């Protein structure tokens, strides 16, 4: 069988506070609620062409083998491609919302090298915001 990966369909993040995490991804990052399945502890957020699924720890479809929240990390970070990318404006936006900001750097991604900024959601998951490709310095 021959197949090609087109892009990321969705990422699932296990969460302990579904309401708080929904507010962060909606109000701070600008995702929209695509599908709400509170009966199974799932909130699906639209992030461009992809989805970020927020899965309630201990909910009906959470798997016990996923472990105790915070005891380990199965995902380093999720990267969201954004435009426009203005690092100073982004930092101001997130600082005003008490979002912990990580480092800014030129990083390689699906579209090539470009500016990116790390930040952390309310449960400590790292989110990378990646701007358009540039011909700038490579890291």
My answer on whether 100 and 131 are in the same domain is yes
The alpha carbon of residue 82 and the mean position of all alpha carbons in its chain are separated, in whole angstroms, by: 12
Phi/psi of residue 21, nearest 5 degrees: -70, -35
58, 30, 59, 42: which is closest to 119 by C-alpha?
Answer: 30
The alpha carbon of residue 71 and the mean position of all alpha carbons in its chain are separated, in whole angstroms, by: 20
DSSP type of residue 89:
H
Kindly state whether residue 137 falls inside one of the protein's structural domains: yes
Domain count, the chain: 2
pLDDT of residue 67: 73
pLDDT of residue 63: 82
Kindly state whether residue 70 falls inside one of the protein's structural domains: no
Q: What is the CATH number of the domain that holds 18?
A: 3.10.180.10
Kindly state whether residue 43 falls inside one of the protein's structural domains: yes
Per-residue pLDDT of the chain (139 residues; tens, 9 = 90+): 676 877 898 999 999 999 999 999 999 999 999 999 999 999 999 999 999 999 999 999 888 777 776 665 567 789 999 999 999 999 999 999 999 999 999 998 888 899 999 999 999 888 999 999 986 555 4
Domain containing 89: what range?
Answer: 76-139
User: pTM of the full predicted structure?
Assistant: 0.79
pLDDT of residue 136: 53
Kindly state whether residue 2 falls inside one of the protein's structural domains: no
Kindly state whether residue 19 falls inside one of the protein's structural domains: yes
My answer on whether 83 and 55 are in the same domain is no
My answer on whether 52 and 82 are in the same domain is no
């Amino acid at each position: 069988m021959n197949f090609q990966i087109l892009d990321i369909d969705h990422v699932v993040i296990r969460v302990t506070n579904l309401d708080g995490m929904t507010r962060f991804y909606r109000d701070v990052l600008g995702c929209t609620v695509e599908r709400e399945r509170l009966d199974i502890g799932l909130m699906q957020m639209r992030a461009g062409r992809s989805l970020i699924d927020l899965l309630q720890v201990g909910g009906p479809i959470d798997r016990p083998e996923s472990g105790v929240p915070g005891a380990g990390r199965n995902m380093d970070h999720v990267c969201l491609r954004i435009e426009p990318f203005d690092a100073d404006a982004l930092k101001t936006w997130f600082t005003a919302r008490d979002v912990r900001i990580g480092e800014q750097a030129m990083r390689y991604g699906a579209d090539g090298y470009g500016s990116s900024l790390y930040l952390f959601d309310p449960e400590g998951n790292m989110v990378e915001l990646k701007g358009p490709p540039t011909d700038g310095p490579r890291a």
